[in-house]
Amino acid sequence: MFQLFAGIIIFLIGLVIGSFSNVCIYRIPRNESLMRPGSHCPQCSKPIPFYDNIPIISYLLLKGQCRYCKQPIPPQYPIVELATGLFYLALYLFYGLQPIAIVYMLLCSLLIIISFIDLKERIIPDVLSLPFIIIGFILSFFLRHINPLDSLLGIIAGGGSLLLIAIAGSKLFKKEAMGGGDIKLAAMIGSFLGWKLILLSLFLGFFLGSIIGVIVMLTSKNKSDIIPFGPFIALGAFISIFWGNTIIHWYLMI
């Protein structure tokens, strides 16, 4: 009974955090304050009352449109809210009420925010990646699943490996092969996960990214479409958070 009650509460907390994540996704690329003004429609600028700001439920009741100007609300909003809630619930069920679960909830929220910003704006803001490289390293002094050396090696392995790819790619292809935002994102993930899991995350990111990239190239009319790599790094990190150690153990046993 306690696990059910705790799971419901954590899921609801995830929905609320997901709602705030949508604010971050919209405002951070525009260098706007996250606190002021309050929630408002980006089309008509009308303030959104609290009863229209309930995660998922308000979107359904309003039929996906603003109460005042009737402009459509992007489906990103309920998707981010639901994804955050489900990740929080999954982390609780997987790790229990442990500090590692809370840390990974923070990381998952960051990855969701960064992924949607990268998909929409083709940027990964430094304000999200750089401070949390330091925060991830500091947290490693207080957690049992990772130590400071592993966190430091994760920063070097994550950022360093993509930096090498960027340097080699620019010399071979005479153009940017890896964005600086991706490099800093990998370093941030490495500070939380350590060197083994960040390398696995990058491998999974490249693998999944190549599959999706081929599909897009075959189906898209615009062959110059650029697929941001950040969401694939995040996807690799999501997989590593839950099954990374199992995958590594399986690989070493082959």
Q: What are phi and psi for residue 21, nearest 5 degrees?
A: -60, -35
pTM comes to 0.93
**Which residues are paired to 65 by β-bridges?**
72
Q: How do the domains of the chain map onto residue ranges?
A: 1-97, 99-254
Six-digit token string for 78: 């309920």
Phi, psi of 87 (to 5 degrees): -65, -45
Rounded CA gap, 209 and 203, in Å?
A: 10
CA dist., res. 116 & res. 230, Å (int): 9
Name the CA radius of gyration of the chain, rounded: 19
Local confidence pLDDT in tens for the 254 residues of the chain = 888 899 999 999 999 999 999 999 999 999 999 988 888 888 888 888 888 899 999 999 999 899 989 899 999 999 999 999 999 999 999 999 999 999 999 999 999 999 999 999 999 999 999 999 999 999 999 998 899 999 999 999 999 999 998 898 887 876 776 788 999 999 999 999 999 999 999 999 999 999 988 887 777 776 556 779 999 999 999 999 999 999 998 988 86
Confidence at residue 171, expressed as pLDDT on a 0 to 100 scale: 79
| Structure token pair of residue 227 | 């697929």
Neighbours of 154 (CB within 10 A): 30
Question: Which residue has tokens 């408002």?
Answer: 40
